[in-house]
Amino acid sequence: MTNKATLANGCFWCTEAIFKRINGVISVLPGYTGGKRENPTYEQVSTGATGHAEAIQLIFDPEILPYETILDVFFATHDPTTPNQQGADIGTQYRSAIFYHDEEQKQIAEKKITELNNSKEYTEALVTELHPFTMFYPAEDYHIDFYDRNKQHPYCKVVIDPKIKKLINKFKENLLQE
């Protein structure tokens, strides 16, 4: 049995690279969600006018990878306290958001957000949005596997490599064995 998760936490090149390395993830697809325009393009989403966020959609095996662990990785690998921004990426398309697929995912996400806010792990309150999933539009082919195809790209070296290192350090037991 598999399940689906849809998450937005900044640049989808980063989040795809992170979640592809987690045991129990069957597939990761970068794309767009949370907006009004049907079949948006990267150029349209990049303007911020479509309302979409850069996101990923995961197919995962909940027997191997519980949804709670997906959210642990999600929150640990981006800053959920900055509205509409991740590092130098600024705009609503880079917001932190969880698009839940059922009531159970919603409850787990609400609990996790409350726990993190109460833990004082962050100096600011979380701004992660929580919305029911509606539609996901896959990104253009050149965005798929961007990190693995372009590891020498400056963005990959400066932004994604440190996130991968953090993932390895914090979630070693959840990583795929190479």
The DSSP code sequence of 110-125 is: HHHHHHHHHHT-SSS-
Q: What is the pLDDT of residues 152-168, one digit of tens each?
A: 999 999 999 999 999 99
Check if 11 is active-site.
yes
**Quick one: pLDDT at residue 115?**
96
Query: What DSSP designation does 7 have?
Result: E
- Could you give the domains of the chain? 3-173 (3.30.1060.10)
Query: What DSSP designation does 86 have?
Result: E
Q: What is the pLDDT of residues 47-99, one digit of tens each?
A: 999 999 999 999 999 999 999 999 999 999 999 999 998 888 899 999 999 99
**Quick one: pLDDT at residue 178?**
63
Q: What is the pLDDT of residues 20-32, one digit of tens each?
A: 999 999 999 999 9
Marked catalytic residue, from 5, 7, 8, 11:
11
The 25-33 sheet, strands edge to edge = 129-132, 96-100, 3-9, 53-60, 25-33, 136-138
Q: What is the pLDDT of residues 4-22, one digit of tens each?
A: 999 999 999 999 999 999 9
